[in-house]
């Protein structure tokens, strides 16, 4: 049995039992292998835009005797996925702008998908806003610290969101409502990081430094608002 990293284990915990997943950007194929071996998914489509990663995934799938259950497919995002082949799409380990791009270009799948499980490594606020603006609702969020890095995952379904608060988009309304301990740790580090940079900027007298200071102070205000809201 494959042992997943803390990050991938968090992502796997979002997958509903009995669902058929399409793992976009599958890389080594560990996530679908684990989900099938644990009896969570009866089958999966492991997809990647790169032949190298897909070759690695294929090798691992064969090693685990799952070639008849997990199909690999060379695909740019959702381009080669067809309605009815999966009810759950997983995207983990890629930047937020790429997640948005893949979802935008995969509109042919929107109506047939029940779950979007997303774990973007950047631009989380933009991803959350995009979901809200495109008729999706975030139903669950989680966050882990894995080998010194912070990772967030979210489950979205078709529905309505109307968050409207910058701190909720940036740090996750549901994580904040939970007073999630990993988010609290992240916010404390963010506050320290910003204060350190602001201190260094004090010795610089330039328009660029002044602009950077304004942006950092705005960012600091959002961090502190989130901390206050979480108590």
- Identify whether the C-beta of residue 139 lies closer than 8 Å to the C-beta of residue 7: no
CATH of domain 6-162: 3.40.50.150
Q: How far apart are CA 33 and CA 80, in angstroms?
A: 20
Q: What are phi and psi of 94, to 5 degrees?
A: -125, 165
Per-domain residue ranges for the chain? 6-162, 182-229
Token pair of 187, please?
């916010």
Burial class (CB in 10 A: 0-12, 13-18, 19+), 203: exposed
25 falls in which pLDDT band (50, 70, 90)? very high
- Identify whether the C-beta of residue 20 lies closer than 8 Å to the C-beta of residue 46: no
Residue 116's Cβ-side half-sphere holds a number of Cα atoms within 13 Å equal to: 27
203 falls in which pLDDT band (50, 70, 90)? confident
pLDDT, tens digit, 9 for 90 and up, residues 126-159: 999 999 999 999 999 999 999 999 999 999 999 9
Nearest to 138 by CA among 108, 163, 121: 163
Query: Left, alpha or beta for 77 (phi > 0: left; psi -120 to 50: alpha)?
Result: left
pLDDT above 90: residue 1: no
Q: What is the CA radius of gyration of the chain?
A: 19
Query: Integer distance in angstroms from the first to the last C-alpha of the chain?
Result: 41
Per-residue pLDDT, 138: 98
């Amino acid at each position: 049995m494959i042992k997943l990293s803390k990050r991938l284990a968090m992502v796997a915990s979002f997958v509903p039992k009995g669902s058929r997943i399409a793992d976009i950007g599958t890389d080594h194929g560990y996530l679908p292998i684990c989900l099938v071996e644990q009896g969570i998914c009866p089958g999966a489509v492991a997809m990647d835009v790169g032949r190298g990663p897909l070759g690695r995934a294929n090798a691992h799938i064969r090693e685990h005797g799952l070639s008849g259950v997990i199909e690999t497919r060379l695909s740019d995002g959702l381009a080669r996925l067809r309605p009815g082949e999966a009810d759950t799409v997983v995207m983990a380990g890629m930047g937020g702008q790429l997640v948005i791009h893949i979802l935008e270009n995969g509109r042919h799948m929107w109506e047939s998908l029940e779950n979007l499980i997303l774990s973007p490594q950047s631009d989380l606020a933009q991803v959350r806003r995009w979901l809200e603006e495109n008729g999706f609702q975030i139903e669950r969020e989680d966050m882990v610290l894995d080998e010194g890095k912070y990772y967030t995952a979210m489950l979205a379904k078709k529905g309505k969101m109307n968050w409207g608060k910058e701190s909720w988009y940036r740090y996750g309304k549901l994580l904040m409502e939970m007073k999630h301990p990993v988010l609290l740790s992240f916010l404390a580090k963010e506050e320290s990081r910003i204060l350190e940079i602001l201190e260094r900027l004090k010795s610089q007298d330039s328009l660029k430094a002044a602009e950077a200071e304004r942006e950092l102070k705005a960012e600091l205000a959002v961090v502190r608002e989130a901390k206050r809201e979480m108590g």
